[in-house]
Structure 1
Amino acid sequence: MLWAAKQGHGLLLSKRPKAKARKRARRKMKALHEALVRSCNSLLPITRHLSVSSTISFHSSINLHHAQTHASPSVSPSSRKPADPQNDIEFFWTTQIASPSRIQKLISSQSDPLLAKEIFDLASRQPNFCHSYSTFYTLILKLGHARHFSFMEDLLFQLRRLRYPATPALFSNIIRIYGDAHLPEKALKTFYGIVEFNCQPTSKHLNLVLGILVAHRNFLRPAFDLFRIAHKYGVDPNVESYNILMKAFCYNGEISVAYKLFNQMPKREVMPSVESYKILMQALCRKSQVNKAVDLLEDMLNKGFVPETLSYTTLLNSLCRKKQLKEAYKLLCRMKVRGCNPNIMHYNTVIVGLCREGRALDAIKVLNDMHSNECLPNLESYRTLVGGLVDQGMHDEARHYMEEMMLKGFSPHFSIAHSLIKGLCNVGKVEEACGLLNELLKHEEVPHISTWQEVILRIYEVDEMERLGSLLDDVMKVEIKPHTRIVEAGAALEEYLIKRIQAKSRKA
């Protein structure tokens, strides 16, 4: 038995499918009908068999015949033929089911991209039916995001053959889809093919493709080639295009190429941006060429650019690591004059650099500058400074700033507190060590077990045990709480108490 296919593509005759093929056809039609009902949930106008106001509901293949019966009242229910999937297909193909806008909404509402394509194909078989560009656009992106690239490319071929006026947004999305799928070659091919759709590529398309290509090291040269010939496609690279390539070449270790691109910008009437300078400065700092980076900063400032804070942070870090601390401090002082107020990160960078090189007194000066510039020191500022003062043996200054930080609610790291207390004990200032220990406890800072052991051992080694012992008594009154750890120093404490009792016995 022969059966007819879609009339719009010519009469295709074939042998009647076998039983399995018929079952697949039934399942396919049933799924399509159910999808139409769920997505539309409204009645679709049938203009060929019904009046304009008549509608049809696709609840099942039987409902299709029920609608056909209403369209022809002369046909009695008893004369209707049994439901047959083959007849359903023929009926569906010979019926205008909806307008292009309704089909577009139906396809857009589908979560399954393959089912959306089935609806697209089914509607395409209707006589004199033409999909709208919006329908193509929606389905192409739906298939692309689902990684059905062969179907997506088939639709693009149809779109080009039908000569629809494509929009730039379509190709921007396609390029992004290929980029997310790590297919740089297809993204590049898409850019070259835009002109075939009577659409002009833009700098946005160029930058999207460049960004995708340079993310793959093997495609750095193809990206550079595209950049050089972009003008042949009517696209002039902008500052973002230059920045993308400059950053890629810098990370690839080819700073000289990045410099050439940077110097080409004014010749091509492209103004470098703050980002352009930052890319080169960071690359130079990574190569320890910090002086060249500072020269770039000067050039940037002379041309009226205001560097972002990250550029200054990078330079300050590099200067401190190169031990050019004088230059780092000068740069810090000039920032405010140049219109960029130093923040806590900038100050801390210089404080760390100074303390690392044994210049804690200069770090105190930086801390004082912070107050004058209305930038409050934070925990890192104090911890770094106190640690630097302790390392240089400036115990009195260190104790002052430790007490200041605790008054401001900052917690000193136990290692810094231990170093300071140990340092005080080593120079014979046991009383000061006990006083600092007492201050720690008042601020609910529990010393480490090693700190206790250090103080206890020192106390019973000195001659004035009675006076220093009373200090420890005051400390213990504050410290002995359920969460404290003095009991862990039991051995040293026991020895101290025994000696104290023995001393009292001798006096008695």
Structure 2
Amino acid sequence: MEVGSRSFGGGAIWWRLDWEVRFGGGSIWRCDLVEVASGLSGEFLAGPFSGSGCAANTKSFSLIEEILEDQKQYKDITDEGFTVRFICLYGKAGMFDHAHKLFDEMPELNCKRTVLSYNALLGTCVNSKNFDKVDGFFRELPGKLSIKPDVVSYNTVIKAFCEMGSLDSALSLLDEMEKEGLRPNLITFNILLDAFYRKLRFLDGDKLWV
């Protein structure tokens, strides 16, 4: 993975070359905007905001917002997969409100919302540690948007419950999945086993093997 820089909005920008984003002038660069900082201030973030030892500051957040907002002028924003990447980037940067705003704006951007962007929003809640918002979105949005949650949706909510210490609520989703005709996968059980064993609830964890 390469690291590079480019002038944008009056300052030098550092990025990890990870995926495509268009900058002013139409050039396409591959980047991960979670690792971005102003060269004018001499600051450089050693890792994603969600990682350890990385202090996010107002200037960095503003810079990320400036870059991502700039992308809305390109037709790619009408592609759900393209927009989902931005939602995820906001989540990794801990900018949940921005991710939620972009999700709400998708119809205005002529971008269809499916279970893909729905799952991205749920994942953003977890990545930004807004665990308390997950259940509300999980219950309310499918009916409003005519979306049917899939295994990824359930796994994300289970992860959120486990992070909050609500293991019984997480476990109850297994029965709900089966009622909805969904089959828990390896990720589902790995999340639950890790949570139960970390809380020393070995008997409950062992029951998952049966």
Instruction: Give the 5 Å matches for 1:307-318.
Output: 307-318=184-195
Please list every run of 5 or more consecutive structure 2 residues that lacks an aligned counterpart in the other structure: 9-21, 37-62
Deviation, structure 1 residue 233: 0.9
- Separation in 1 of the partners of 2:172 and 2:181? 15
Q: 1:241 aligns with which of 109, 117, 129?
A: 117
Distance 2:129 2:81 in 1: 27
Question: What is the CA-CA distance between 1:235 and the residue it aligns to?
Answer: 0.8
Unmatched tracts of structure 1, length 5 or more: 1-144, 157-169, 334-508
Query: How many residues end up aligned between the 2 structures?
Result: 168
**Structure 1 counterpart of 2:5, which letter?**
R
Alignment TM-score, normalising by the size of structure 2: 0.66
- The aligned amino acid for 2:65 is E
Question: Does structure 2 retain, via aligned residues, the 8 Å contact 1:187–1:209?
Answer: no
Q: Deviations over 1:68-114 (max 9, x none)?
A: xxxxxxxxxxxxxxxxxxxxxxxxxxxxxxxxxxxxxxxxxxxxxxx
Give the match for residue 177 of structure 1: 31
Cα distance in 1 between the residues matched to 2:161 and 2:77? 38
Mapped partners of 2:35, 2:197: distance in 1: 42
Q: Which residue of 2 aligns with 1:276?
A: 153
Q: Tell me the secondary structure at the aligned position of residue 104 of structure 2.
A: helix
Structure with the larger RCO, 1 or 2 (CA within 8 Å, 6+ apart): 2
CA-to-partner distance for each residue in 1:152-190, whole Å, 9 max, x for gaps? Answer: 85633xxxxxxxxxxxxx7xx55x436276252244223
For 1:299, which of 176, 201, 210 is the aligned residue?
176
1:148 alignment partner in structure 2: 6
TM-score where L is the length of structure 1 = 0.30
- Return the structure number with greater helix share: 1
In 1, distance between residues paired with 2:166 and 2:23? Answer: 49
Report deviation, 1:214: 1.7
Q: What residue in structure 1 maps to residue 52 of structure 2?
A: none
Query: What SS is found at the alignment partner of 1:147?
Result: strand
1:121-200 map, 5 Å: 147-149=5-7, 155-156=25-26, 173-174=28-29, 176-177=30-31, 179=33, 182=36, 184-195=64-75
SS across alignment from 1:262 = helix
What percentage of residue pairs aligned between the two structures are identical? 19
CA change 1:184–1:332 in 2 (3 A) is same
Q: C-alpha distance in 2, partners of 1:317/1:201?
A: 38
Question: Given the alignment, which residue of 84, 98, 103 partners 1:207?
Answer: 84
Work out which of the two has the higher radius of gyration on C-alpha atoms and give 1 or 2. Answer: 1
Give, as a single letter, the amino acid of the residue that structure 1 aligns with 2:165. S
**Shift of residue 321, structure 1, vs aligned partner:** 4.8
SS of alignment partner, residue 232 of structure 1: coil
Inter-CA distance 319–190: structure 2 relative to 1 (3 Å threshold): same
What is the CA deviation profile of residues 439-480 of structure 1, one whole-angstrom value per residue up to 9, with x for unaligned ones?
Answer: xxxxxxxxxxxxxxxxxxxxxxxxxxxxxxxxxxxxxxxxxx
Residue type matched to 1:248 in 2? T
Kindly indicate whether residue 81 of structure 2 is the aligned counterpart of residue 223 of structure 1: no
